[in-house]
Structure 1
């Protein structure tokens, strides 16, 4: 299956280090070579931006010239969603590369999925329609359609998380539904089988990368005010305390902190 990578940061931050290791899983240290993509919500000064700088490629992330450029070109963001693909549903084409992006309530939303959904054929009657042929994009379109039906305008992160908690099980019952979702202000993560996160903040330490034989002192790359969350399918480092999310757990991260920790069943009943 595919792998996911996300970042949520208190201040504008670069994902260059994590993306460098993660992209090696797209055909080098792992077999996820059927395309890749990444979306950066670029910051407007110190505030989160509404628009995303968006890159997708049907080539392997380990060999793609675009991925190589991003490994050396820092883009400062509050929220990032990235994906390397191992195709299960849908051909290896550009339109089937994650993440996917749509507009809702005057903001761009991006979504990436790891898993396989069986017999998932929801009725789409709004303006959200898939461009490609993946079950992932279909799930994203249905989620946005139902969110739009539930809220006339953009709700708070807490309200939105409760609505997602009601919607997610309707998709997850069809198979594996690990996903990352962001609107540039926050990052939502749902674990169906496997998802990990780590919080990095002052005092920053040295990290040992898992996919490349390198060590990096994070104190040289960050200031004391920095605080960020990295979410990934499999941990990117060997010496950090990565937290494994439980099956069915839905989290929302904002300003580099977790805001909600609960199973979707708990949230739906709250």
Structure 2
């Protein structure tokens, strides 16, 4: 299976610690060697790093691990290929513009044989994940407008995501740089770090950080992952069908939909 990682924070924060743990699973402690990517929002812009090789041995991933890129929202993915060849065009996260914003999408799961309805957005690669992203944006573009409220848009995202989840495994990260929408059908976990901060140790690397020395008392930083990254913290595990909308590190909307019980396929896009 592939793995997801995202961050929502109330202040520009680097992802070096969590990203280091995730990249080790891309070909070292895990089998996800078929590509990796990370998108950092900076104002209205988005800085994206993508490679079609293993993150554990990537010099570019090493630079990202050691260079503190500050962002309030970040979206990451490591891939174990199932649908689509191993190439840059099939590497998550995918990015498209809608309503003058960059929307970023990463997916964990499989909807075999999925084809998007014709519309403005079309896939460049040949993964079901990118096809899903294009289909989702085409539906939003058709059914909504830039003036839609955040709550109303979230309601529509939940409806669409639930429909996709009835067709296969659909674990989702989606952001426009302002909010972060997450939807779980099989596995997802989160942790929110706030004062008083303490230390944490990665599962996949001999790395410990003392968050108290890296933060201020007002900081709120939430991390969302497929599998918990640390050994000494209490992670909050999503239920199947659970969704959450994150804004500046906090959950501002949430719910749980009825979705079919599924086991996650071992290979994944």
- TM-score greater than 0.5 by the shorter chain: yes
| Aligned match of 2:40 | 40
| Aligned match of 1:135 | 128
Residue 43 of structure 2 corresponds to residue 17 of structure 1: no
| Aligned match of 2:47 | 53
Paired residues for 1:88-167 under 5 Å:
88-125=82-119, 127-167=120-160
| Aligned match of 2:217 | 224
- Closer, same or farther in 2 for the Cα pair 1:250/1:152, shift >3 Å? same
Structure 1 stretches of 4+ moved >4 Å? none
| Aligned match of 2:266 | none
| Aligned match of 1:70 | 64
Instruction: State the 1:153 CA deviation.
Output: 1.2
Deviations, residues 175-226 of structure 1 (Å, cap 9, x unaligned): 1000100100011111010000000011101112111123211101111111
1:177 match: secondary structure: strand
Residue 88 of structure 2 corresponds to residue 84 of structure 1: no
1:112 match: secondary structure: strand
Structure 2, unmatched stretches of 5+, are: 260-269
1:62 match: secondary structure: helix
Distance 2:26 2:150 in 1: 32
Does structure 1 retain, via aligned residues, the 8 Å contact 2:113–2:128?
no
RMSD (Å) for aligned C-alpha atoms: 1.2
Instruction: State the 1:264 CA deviation.
Output: 3.6
Q: Which has the higher contact order (CA 8 A, sep 6+)?
A: 2
Distance 1:85 1:154 in 2: 35
Distance 1:87 1:214 in 2: 28
Query: Greater CA deviation, 164-173 or 68-77?
Result: 164-173
Distance 1:154 1:180 in 2: 22
| Aligned match of 2:188 | 195
2:221 match: secondary structure: strand
| Aligned match of 2:173 | 180
Distance 2:163 2:145 in 1: 22
Does structure 2 retain, via aligned residues, the 8 Å contact 1:50–1:183?
no
| Aligned match of 1:45 | none
Deviations, residues 49-97 of structure 1 (Å, cap 9, x unaligned): 1210011000100011110110110111010000000001000000000
- Closer, same or farther in 2 for the Cα pair 1:154/1:111, shift >3 Å? farther
Q: How many residues align?
A: 259
Structure 1, unmatched stretches of 5+, are: 43-48
Residue 224 of structure 2 corresponds to residue 207 of structure 1: no
